[in-house]
Structure 1
Amino acid sequence: MRLCSVASGSSGNCIYAGVNDTHVMIDAGISGKKIEQGLNEIGLQTKDIQGIVITHEHIDHVKGLGVLARKFEIPIYGTRGTIQAVRNISSLGRFPDGLFHEIKEDESFQIHEIHIKPFAVSHDAVQPVSYVMEHEGSSFGVVTDLGMYDDYTIEKLKGLDALLLEANHDVRMLQTGKYPYYLKQRILGARGHLSNEVSGQLLCEILHDKLKYVLLGHLSKENNYEELAYETVCSEITLGDNQYRANDFSIQIAKRDGISELVEF
């Protein structure tokens, strides 16, 4: 399996996943031109994509969806609530008939060779999900845009080979920053975003010998920076109540406006 972040951050999100001749995207929150440029860097074109799975309807996850749908007619997968919300975003334009495919939380589906498991997350969207993808015993998760995790979340993320996980903000930067009070409360709330610390705590719950690669994503431009996110998550792992240390795994940062390393496992 292959995993790569084309863009990940509060200004736009697009993740590539593939195996053999199957190529899918998780979200399309940047322009079609930037998606094409990112895919070109790993030897692909947008026309190679066979499906787009959407986590939720916020514009930083669907900005390029309308253009891709009309130009390439790529099938789009999302929950009923997400599909309805996407259809209501006027800036995305008209979608060709028959491209949307409704999925449900905790019900697996297939895009060619990739087995996909959507699961519910706590976020201020209509019906948001995150995804675990599997192929012949290998698996990875893409988990962003959630304000909290629980035993259900932990159970869904056990046994992965790789994980792209949100580390959105530093709590102190957010609290003392320029955001208005209501927005700070939204981000800090149970339907907001994971802080660096909580991201590290979630990792402590799911670390195991098989996990090879962790990519920290969806960093806030205003309330985080790469070194702080990395060091905070590493500290939570190393000082946490578990048998692992941060240097037992490859931990990297997904850039907001650039493609990450293509990971194969």
Structure 2
Amino acid sequence: MSMQFSVLASGSTGNAIYVENGEHSFLVDAGLSGKQMETLFQQIDRDMGKLSGILVTHEHSDHIKGVGIIARKYKLPIYANEKTWLAMDNLIGQIPVEQKFTFGMETVKSFGSLDIESFGVSHDAADPMFYVFHSGEKKLVLITDTGYVSDRMKGLISNADAYVFESNHDVQMLRMGRYPWSIKRRILSDVGHVSNEDAAIAMSEVAGDRTKSIYLAHLSQDNNIKDLARMSVAQTLETQGIMVGEQFTLYDTDPKTPTILTAV
């Protein structure tokens, strides 16, 4: 059974991704207000009340701002690992115990024909993790908020049909920008965010014969530009022998406008 997905919002102001396969649908993070999230769902013609649940990657506010209010309003289950639950419990308000579920690191949960696999990333949160969706022969990988992509991660996410892949910053823009050095150092660290070039190198190592699309996600509003990210990633991929447009296509994501609902 094929999947469809939309990157509803992506960036430092809020992140949310919608994934469905006909039997089940999930929201991965809800980093915007409940009202903003409802507007985004209207734009992709989907009903938030029909979600199977919310999957949380980590407790930073740009990923959980709307989680509590949406879960309470629509009585949705929330899935997160134990350390993330401890870190976010006081940040999302009271959640009925019957809506709280643990999704362990490096595990797979099955929802009918949809299998969801969790994997750890390197970020300055309690226990950050992202997800691989499997439905039939199709594979969708979501990976942002990581300072680097380890060999272990590469093994788990290799040869997917589609990726939502972090391409956070241009190193030169970040170094020359207005951020204090402490924040620059954090972003550049192994528990920060990957740059355009580092993202492209990782893409070149995980993309395979079945890969058709890569969505560049979590772009910094201060230290990146869509055109620059696309150009930098394409140029770096070319040095690795991969021609964008021939092997797969690069797509933009946006902090406020969802991508069209796309089949994997």
User: Which TM-score applies when normalising by structure 1?
Assistant: 0.96
The one-letter amino acid of 2:121's match is V
Give the aligned residue type for 1:104: G
Aligned to 1:160: 160
Select between 95-104 and 250-259 the one with higher mean Cα deviation: 95-104
Deviant stretches of 4+, over 4 Å: none
CA distance 1:77–1:38, change in 2 (3 Å): same
Q: Does 1:100 align with 2:120?
A: no
- After superposition, residues 27-42 of structure 1 pair within 5 angstroms as 27-42=29-44
Matched, 1:253 2:255: no
Q: Quick check: 2:146–2:190 contact (8 Å CA) kept in 1? A: yes
Cα distance between partner residues in 2 of 1:37 and 1:23: 17
**8 Å Cα contact 1:51-1:111 kept in structure 2:** no
Q: Please state if 1:4 is matched with 2:2.
A: no
Q: Kindly provide the CA deviation profile for residues 60-106 of structure 1, in whole angstroms up to 9, marking residues without a partner as x.
A: 000001101110111111110111111022xx321122212111122
Q: What percent of counterpart residues are identical?
A: 34
1:223 is matched with 223
* Per-residue deviation, 1:223: 0.6
Distance of 1:208 and 1:64 partners within structure 2: 35
In structure 1, the residue corresponding to 2:12 is in which secondary structure?
coil
Query: 1:212 — aligned with what?
Result: 212
Q: Is the deviation greater in 107-116 or in 172-181?
A: 107-116
Cα distance between partner residues in 2 of 1:132 and 1:3: 12
Q: What code does the residue aligned with 1:53 have?
A: L
Aligned-residue CA RMSD (Å):
1.0
State the 1:233 CA deviation. 0.5
**One-letter amino acid of the counterpart of residue 244, structure 2:** A
Q: Deviations over 1:209-265 (max 9, x none)?
A: 21011100000111111001110011111111x4x2112212111111111121102
| SS of residue in 2 equivalent to 1:247 | coil
Q: How does 1:105-144 map to 2 (within 5 A)?
A: 105-144=105-144
Check the 8 A contact 2:44/2:258 in 1, yes or no.
Answer: no
Structure 2 distance, partners of 1:181, 1:30, is 28
2:44–2:260 contact (8 Å) kept in structure 1? no
Matched with 1:197 is: 197
1:21 Cα deviation after fit: 3.3
Aligned to 2:23: 21
CA distance in 1 between partners of 2:107 and 2:44 (Å):
31
Pairwise CA distance, 1:175? 0.6
Contact 1:164 1:214 (8 Å CA) reproduced: yes
| 3-state SS of paired residue (2:98) | coil
Mapped partners of 1:234, 1:261: distance in 2: 22
| 1:166-205 paired onto structure 2 within 5 Å | 166-205=166-205
Q: Which runs of 5+ in 1 are unaligned?
A: none
Question: Which stretch has the larger CA shift, 104-113 or 255-264?
Answer: 104-113
Q: Which residue of 1 aligns with 2:69?
A: 67
Deviations 1:131-154 (A, max 9, x none): 100011101011000001111011
Whether the 8 Å CA contact 1:169–1:223 is kept in 2: the answer is yes
Other structure's SS at 2:245 match: helix
SS at match of 1:98: helix
